[in-house]
Chain A
């Protein structure tokens, strides 16, 4: 099937996954609406969770169908290319894992499950549009769809003060950064007369519109994206928000929301500003270096496991920025591969933390993991796999993902960043493996005899086993996924002259 967007009906086909998912989100919302005073049927969270997963399955099928669709309309607002389709898999997977993890959680915490799931689905729609659009205005709308969903999800547990605090902080800083982004869009439009990425790219490459106005617009776009991906020095909101949000929402934000921001970041900068690479490359270089160093050093001193994982997610953002600084097709493929592996291992790790933290989320300190390994061997082995993968230990998917990032960096001759990436990884071993050390090498405190508090329901077990299995598989046979990522990165990369120098 070929779409030329001559009639607006073509947009219904091009946007099939997103449209299906939005309709499904409304169905879930209406299926789950209850008055505050009404009693909730038991197991409602599980039923609605499976209902939401059906919607994600439909969207996944539509996404698979889009592989057979071609388009010959470079001016269309939405594109059907490998990058978008790969990113869609990423978001659908992230949302699906999150919903599986949260099924028992929403019941346990007495959250309003219909609203919770439909917000996740609608935020996913926003992400999918972010990954697929070539229009800056639509990009902004999609970003807001995603972000507003994420703000509400953060503040979702109304009985918890930390949740409300995190939600308000996220909302204020997030809207602030959206302002930067919007102003950047306005300035770029003012300088080039277009909000369409390939048109901007053509104008900039032709040398027209090159001015302080354009550079200022690009800088504001960069700041806006850096806020969203939580790159140091724009990372201040992350630990508080991640700590306060309900645990499945934290996993969702750390994985899918970050992935969506990265996907949009890469598309905007590689499609609209390849000609200005010399201008933005040093900034991305420093962002990557600072993020890797600072986030890993702060994570060393965290005793709260949720905050530790928050800083670890900031650090992973730094590794991913290396790929953007490298800006080759190989590096973009490495970024896609890394994002997929990162989504799986991060949600897995948060799922375990959720299981361990218990009914009212009180067991969140490192000490609470003392002797955990011998009490709950299965959970502890799985957690060890996720931690090793996050650290990038050979034999796990995280290792292969880091190898591809390094390969991209070395290929573009970013020697200093490559060395920093390796050093940062070595530092991160300490705080990941410290948790494993607590689990396996320390005795449980005498008074904790109630080990029955650890409760992993079947959907969570499914997520844990599946994620750990996929991580181990990708650690040994990464080829298939890499081919997919390379196909997804088609056309997104610059052929550039290698620089010879250790600093930008």
Chain B
């Protein structure tokens, strides 16, 4: 059984050697003439506007959390919807319980004021 993994190991080894080799080669062979433009994180991208650690409103965080709730809901609902007929009542009850728990979380968020943007 273990023999069948040898190709994976070989591939892993080759890719590691390849990546390290390329990095090391450019590091050794590359002539260095740094300019401020070249030292920017994205040399050919936008000119940076400020520090990456800018503070932003915690409200975005609430939006992201709510997104995750509904995103997960959709991930679980769509496979059930596709197989709804074969899963029958048992599947329906299971999904209803899942939905009920999510709705409780949603009510909590609503009452807590997580959906108000002031």
User: Which of the candidate stretches A27-35, A91-99, A344-352, A441-449 sits at the interface with the other chain?
Assistant: A27-35
Interface string of A1-42 (1 = CB under 8 A from B): 000000010000000000000000010011001111100000
Interface string of A36-80 (1 = CB under 8 A from B): 110000000000000000000000000000000000000000000
B68 at the interface (CB under 8 A from A): no
B13 at the interface (CB under 8 A from A): no
Please tell me if the beta carbons of A33 and B104 are within 8 angstroms of each other in the complex: no
Nearest B residue (CB) for A9: B90
Interface string of B8-19 (1 = CB under 8 A from A): 000000000000
Q: How far is the CB of A22 from chain B (nearest CB, A)?
A: 8
Please tell me if the beta carbons of B112 and A30 are within 8 angstroms of each other in the complex: no
Please tell me if the beta carbons of A33 and B111 are within 8 angstroms of each other in the complex: yes
Please tell me if the beta carbons of B90 and A33 are within 8 angstroms of each other in the complex: no
Please tell me if the beta carbons of A26 and B101 are within 8 angstroms of each other in the complex: yes
Q: How far is the CB of A216 from chain B (nearest CB, A)?
A: 14
Please tell me if the beta carbons of A26 and B104 are within 8 angstroms of each other in the complex: yes
In whole angstroms, what is the CA distance A463 to B54 when docked? Answer: 49
Interface string of A292-314 (1 = CB under 8 A from B): 00000000000000000000000
Q: How far is the CB of B118 from chain A (nearest CB, A)?
A: 11
In whole angstroms, what is the CA distance A35 to B112 when docked? Answer: 5
Q: Which of A8, A29, A35, A36 contacts B104 (CB 8 A)?
A: A29
| Chain B residues with CB under 8 A of A26 | 101, 104
Please tell me if the beta carbons of B113 and A30 are within 8 angstroms of each other in the complex: no
Interface string of B81-118 (1 = CB under 8 A from A): 00000000010000000000100100110011100000
| Chain A residues with CB under 8 A of B113 | 35-37
Please tell me if the beta carbons of A35 and B101 are within 8 angstroms of each other in the complex: no
In whole angstroms, what is the CA distance A34 to B111 when docked? Answer: 7
Nearest A residue (CB) for B111: A33
In whole angstroms, what is the CA distance A26 to B104 when docked? Answer: 7
In whole angstroms, what is the CA distance A35 to B111 when docked? Answer: 7
In whole angstroms, what is the CA distance A130 to B79 when docked? Answer: 29
| Chain B residues with CB under 8 A of A35 | 111-113
In whole angstroms, what is the CA distance A30 to B101 when docked? Answer: 12
Please tell me if the beta carbons of B108 and A30 are within 8 angstroms of each other in the complex: yes
Total chain B interface residues with beta-carbon distance under 8 A: 8
Q: How far is the CB of A193 from chain B (nearest CB, A)?
A: 11
Q: Which of A8, A29, A36 contacts B108 (CB 8 A)?
A: A29
Q: How far is the CB of A279 from chain B (nearest CB, A)?
A: 21
Please tell me if the beta carbons of B107 and A30 are within 8 angstroms of each other in the complex: yes
| Chain B residues with CB under 8 A of A8 | 90
Residue of A8, A30, A33, A36 with most partner-chain B CB within 10 A = A33
Interface positions, chain B 32-88, Cβ under 8 Å from A, are none
In whole angstroms, what is the CA distance A30 to B90 when docked? Answer: 28
In whole angstroms, what is the CA distance A36 to B113 when docked? Answer: 8
Residue of A26, A30, A36, A37 with most partner-chain B CB within 10 A = A26
| Chain B residues with CB under 8 A of A30 | 104, 107-108, 111
Q: How far is the CB of B3 from chain A (nearest CB, A)?
A: 15
Q: How far is the CB of B75 from chain A (nearest CB, A)?
A: 17
In whole angstroms, what is the CA distance A30 to B108 when docked? Answer: 6
Please tell me if the beta carbons of A33 and B101 are within 8 angstroms of each other in the complex: no
Nearest B residue (CB) for A22: B101
Residue of A29, A36, A37 with most partner-chain B CB within 10 A = A29
In whole angstroms, what is the CA distance A35 to B118 when docked? Answer: 13
In whole angstroms, what is the CA distance A137 to B107 when docked? Answer: 30
In whole angstroms, what is the CA distance A29 to B104 when docked? Answer: 9
Nearest A residue (CB) for B101: A26
| Chain A residues with CB under 8 A of B104 | 26, 29-30
In whole angstroms, what is the CA distance A8 to B92 when docked? Answer: 13
| Chain B residues with CB under 8 A of A33 | 107-108, 111-112
Interface positions, chain A 298-346, Cβ under 8 Å from B, are none
Nearest A residue (CB) for B112: A33
| Chain B residues with CB under 8 A of A36 | 112-113
Nearest B residue (CB) for A213: B2
Q: How far is the CB of A187 from chain B (nearest CB, A)?
A: 14
Nearest B residue (CB) for A36: B113
In whole angstroms, what is the CA distance A15 to B90 when docked? Answer: 17
Q: How far is the CB of A36 from chain B (nearest CB, A)?
A: 7
In whole angstroms, what is the CA distance A30 to B107 when docked? Answer: 8
Q: How far is the CB of A21 from chain B (nearest CB, A)?
A: 14
Q: How far is the CB of B14 from chain A (nearest CB, A)?
A: 24
| Chain A residues with CB under 8 A of B107 | 30, 33
| Chain B residues with CB under 8 A of A34 | 111-112
In whole angstroms, what is the CA distance A26 to B105 when docked? Answer: 9
| Chain A residues with CB under 8 A of B101 | 26
| Chain A residues with CB under 8 A of B112 | 33-36
In whole angstroms, what is the CA distance A8 to B94 when docked? Answer: 10
Q: How far is the CB of B89 from chain A (nearest CB, A)?
A: 11
In whole angstroms, what is the CA distance A36 to B112 when docked? Answer: 7
In whole angstroms, what is the CA distance A29 to B110 when docked? Answer: 13
Q: How far is the CB of B83 from chain A (nearest CB, A)?
A: 16
In whole angstroms, what is the CA distance A33 to B105 when docked? Answer: 11
Nearest A residue (CB) for B97: A19
Q: How far is the CB of A212 from chain B (nearest CB, A)?
A: 11
Chain A residues in the interface with B (C-beta under 8 A): 8, 26, 29-30, 33-37
* A-B residue pairs, 9 tightest by C-beta: A35-B113, A33-B111, A26-B104, A33-B108, A33-B112, A29-B108, A8-B90, A30-B107, A35-B112
What are 8 A-B pairs at a CB distance below 8 A?
A26-B101, A26-B104, A29-B108, A30-B111, A33-B107, A35-B112, A36-B112, A36-B113
Additional pairs, 10, CB under 8 Å, beyond known A26-B104, A30-B111, A34-B111: A8-B90, A26-B101, A30-B108, A33-B107, A33-B108, A33-B111, A35-B111, A36-B112, A36-B113, A37-B113
